[in-house]
Amino acid sequence: MIKPISISVKAKSHTNQYKMHKYFARRPYNVFQNLIKHYTKENDLVLDVFCGGGVTVFESVAMNRRSIGVDLNPLATFISKMQLKKVNISTLKVLGNSFINNLEQELSRYYEYNYNCIDYKIEWIEWTYEVSCPLCSTTIRLAEHNKVVSPNGKPKNGYYCCPNQLCGGHDRRTGVKRTDCKSIGSHPLRVKISNGEETVVIDLSDEEASFIKSQRYTHLIEESMVIPDDEIPLNWDRTHEDKLIEKGVYRFSDLYTERNFILNVIIFNRILALKGQIDNDIVDCIYFAFSSSLRYTNKMSRVTENWENGNPTSMDKHAYWLPNVYIEANVIEKFKDRFNVILKGLTYTNEKIPFGSNLISVKESINVCHIGSLNASILHLR
């Protein structure tokens, strides 16, 4: 009989392979190391029927145990597989950077910005939602300065003042409730730009904002392209809890600005075109970087002066939380950032996993099958 663990373990920060791709509620690796070491011995079989972010699977294999990871979510099994991927890092770096260079030549023009007759690159644009007042139909911008003021002098979240002075919603003490308003669009407020020598954040004039709003990108879509844009399921708990329909979110494309959705579609299709041209493991790694970048390029990212030193922060919970003021990040720059993180993570995997990727099996299945001679089997239940 193995005695229960009686000593607490202080959680440590994630190691590099877990930083490659966000997955919700990923547990501290060293706590799981301790569990595996205490309750199993080398060559034992460890089963995780809700493998999620793959901590149990990775740590088991790294400690010379065999492991089966199971999950209903295909993203979970994809992440778990990629964390165990063994590739030649030098080859990945060369081919990945070549792919990024081609993207920059094709798409970077859509993030160009001229300021004081100097060319800059857009890092992000800050937008605020616009809604129609339920009392008078006047447009309300959901910016911080339009929030209702509580008796304690602090802004009241979810309530905004109508700019129409004749409207009952103009009262700074009551205003109107955001979820009672009809969504009608977004308005750009600020832009952060850089040119290698300086970085500037600019408050946009009405003329500059109108120009940004006038830009269209749908013409960039080619007839042969795959466009992943499903409708948001009405029976999702998150659809109702996060009030997506009330906020004008009917399709997954509504979670992105038009520019970022279209450019992400183009990148997705450029990755699909790599299949058959280069090694499939390398394609998987490039796609992994793209998947990881999506978290940072949607409307659930924002900038706050008193958080993360004013740098963009992204939603990190299993929900669709849409801040009323959000940023549109440069998808090329985010893809580059995430690819570099992937390189670091897979370098760590090469150091910790002492065998080839041919010993990792990833299957779609309705049954947990015998693992046989494999070190790890990751099953996507359907």
Distances 133 to 33, 129, 140, 180, 375 between C-alpha atoms, Å? 55, 13, 6, 8, 60
The ranges assigned to domains in the chain are: 16-86+353-381, 89-133+181-344
CA–CA separation, 337 and 333 (whole Å): 6
Question: What is the torsional sign of CA 297, 300, 305, 309?
Answer: negative
Place of tokens 């920060």: 13
Spell out the long-range contacts of 212-215 with Cβ–Cβ below 8 A and sequence spacing 24 or more. Answer: 212/125, 212/188, 213/187, 213/188, 215/259
Per-residue model confidence (pLDDT) at position 372: 54
Helices (H), 273-330: 280-293
Task: Look at phi and psi of residue 304 and say left if phi exceeds 0, alpha if psi is from -120 to 50, else beta.
Answer: beta
User: Nearest 5°: CA angle at 19, between 14 and 24?
Assistant: 85
Q: List the pLDDT tens digit at each of the 382 positions of the chain.
A: 888 888 888 999 999 999 999 998 889 999 999 999 999 999 898 988 889 999 999 999 999 998 888 888 889 999 999 999 999 999 999 999 999 999 999 999 999 999 999 999 999 999 999 999 999 999 999 998 999 998 888 889 899 999 999 999 999 889 999 989 998 999 999 999 999 899 999 999 999 999 999 999 999 999 999 999 999 888 887 888 888 888 889 999 999 999 999 999 999 999 999 999 999 999 999 999 999 999 999 999 998 877 767 788 887 677 788 889 999 999 999 999 999 999 999 999 999 987 654 445 555 555 555 555 556 666 665 4
Question: What is the torsional sign of CA 355, 357, 358, 363?
Answer: positive
CA–CA separation, 76 and 71 (whole Å): 7
Cβ contacts of residue 178 below 8 Å, gap of 6+? 131, 142, 158, 159, 160, 324
Phi, psi for residue 240 in degrees, rounded to 5: -85, -45
- Tokens representing 89 are 């890092």
| CATH match for 16-86+353-381 among 3.40.50.720, 3.40.50.970, 3.40.50.150, 3.40.50.300 | 3.40.50.150
How many angstroms separate the most distant Cα atoms in the chain? 77
Per-residue model confidence (pLDDT) at position 245: 86
Per-residue model confidence (pLDDT) at position 49: 87
pTM score = 0.91
Per-residue model confidence (pLDDT) at position 140: 96
